[in-house]
Chain A
Amino acid sequence: MSKTYSDEELISRVWDVEEIKKLVHKRVYYIADDLRSEELADLWVSDPDHQKTASFGRNWGYYVGLDNIKTYYTDSHTALLELQKSANGASALNVGNLYAHPASTGLVELAGDGKTAKGIWYCISQETTARGDSTADAEWMMEKLAIDLIRENDGWKIWHLVIATDLHGEAGQDYSQQPIYVDWDSDAVRREFGVPTIEKLTHDATFNWWDDYPFMPKPYEAFHDAISYGPEGFVPPINKGWNAKEGRNYL
């Protein structure tokens, strides 16, 4: 993009990118504290029109609309924690649980019009879930994190978010010994995601297919559906593997 900006515009854009990265980093600490309701309230869109089109995607589809996102991300999660607490005889929710999804390798593109931005990060993550026998299941999770952000009156907010899990496996176990074909009915991450608003295989982790979803953002002037990290921006990959070149969406 060869657009020319004034000094004032340039430093404003540089600062915007810093604020966007800070927002995504704050989300890491909300997750660590398991403050999902607070995350939705503080970091996600608050404009009613934006809330209607907000989306939360994973390998198997999208929850669309902030109410549906809340039902999945907060209410279902809390219900699972209640079941765990009861099964473990724990004194409180989240005893023995640990969450870490640090986001690194940030790549942020601010729209030429400055109204939206797109970013992608990689997360070497873990979630640890207590069992009732003073042990816990500690799970490595490797995932891409892609986010559309939109500027609201009080700053940048998360609008569309995709977490594409590349692999997950128990700490201390040999990943290469995992079965090639994942049984999605019993896959813990798949089960946690539940039945989304739009069911769709967006990221096929079998064989670590190079399906390039979510795709890397590239410079753009104004947001449009075709480049969205929401469901409207998903296009099934035409090719996988070498023929995908740099990915169907990158070029």
Chain B
Amino acid sequence: MNYSTEQLTERWEAQRSIKNLMGKYANCVILNREQDIFDLFWAKNHDDLSLGFNDGLYRGSEAVKGYYSAVRDRNALVASLLQKRFPDVLGGMSEEEIYGIGPFKVKPLACPVIEIAADFKTAKGLWYCQGAYNEVETCGPVAHWTWGYFAVDFVRDGDNWYLWHLLYLNDVDCLCGQSWGKVPQPLPDLPEFAPLAVFHAPAYTESKTLRELYSPNRPLIAAPRFPVPYDTFAHTFSYGGELS
């Protein structure tokens, strides 16, 4: 499609906004600000929001919001356990002051392929994410490599773009220092972090395998499709969980 100079400029600015939106999302994850993500970045005027991971989807704004609330609750639990583990330094601090210590989740987003609909109402993007998360688990602090994809549908509201459907699908999730091609060697549990064993994320709205994690016996699975130019959303595919 041929666009005028003004239209091209507008579309370039939209593309920049979308990249910035995902950059802000990744930075909120790094800063453990999951409690802010829904209000800041998700579309409010759509009831068909979806957030998907390898083994299921949250559908609808309440379910999506519930996921981020659960991450916030887990962050708070981790902080309280670390406070007990390090009373000399953390013992006198309030819940608010210690919130965020522990988890360090790095999701750098690379290789964007973004398409903005010709009607300028929606957009789609695919990113490769060679990430890591350093979490506190029942074995204590531990680091994981993650190799995967962010596949996102965006919707425009006024002058701004918002998340509509987001899939975060990994191929690899393995302990740093170990090979993802070998049998994982789990670390022994520590009693001071045992309360984490009973903490679970909310049940998915839809439990299904969107992407099987890598194993040496897994067939090669195609990456999520990258977006292609489209005129209106009804004429393209969705990252709402149907296509992975």
Contacts and interface: CB of A to CB of B under 8 A. Distances in A.
Nearest to A130: B216
Task: Tell me which of A11, A28, A34 has the highest count of chain B C-beta atoms within 10 A of its own C-beta.
Answer: A11
A183 B204 CA distance: 51
Contacts of A129: 181
A96 interface: yes
B179 interface: yes
A25 B111 contact: yes
Contact of A98 (B15, B113, B114, B171): B171
A94 interface: yes
B155 to A, nearest CB: 21
Contacts, number: 109
B12 A96 contact: no
A96 B9 contact: no
A11 B5 contact: yes
A138 B181 contact: yes
A78 interface: no
Nearest to A103: B111
Interface string B218-238: 111011001000000000000
Interface of A: 7-8, 11-12, 14-15, 18, 21-22, 25-26, 28-29, 32-34, 91-98, 100, 102-104, 124, 126, 128-131, 134-138, 170-173
Nearest 8 A/B pairs, CB to CB: A136-B181, A138-B181, A94-B220, A172-B179, A25-B111, A171-B179, A136-B216, A102-B128
Given A26-B226, A97-B220, A129-B181, 19 more contacts: A14-B12, A22-B112, A25-B113, A25-B226, A26-B113, A29-B223, A29-B226, A33-B220, A98-B172, A100-B128, A102-B111, A104-B110, A130-B181, A130-B217, A135-B183, A135-B216, A138-B181, A170-B179, A171-B179
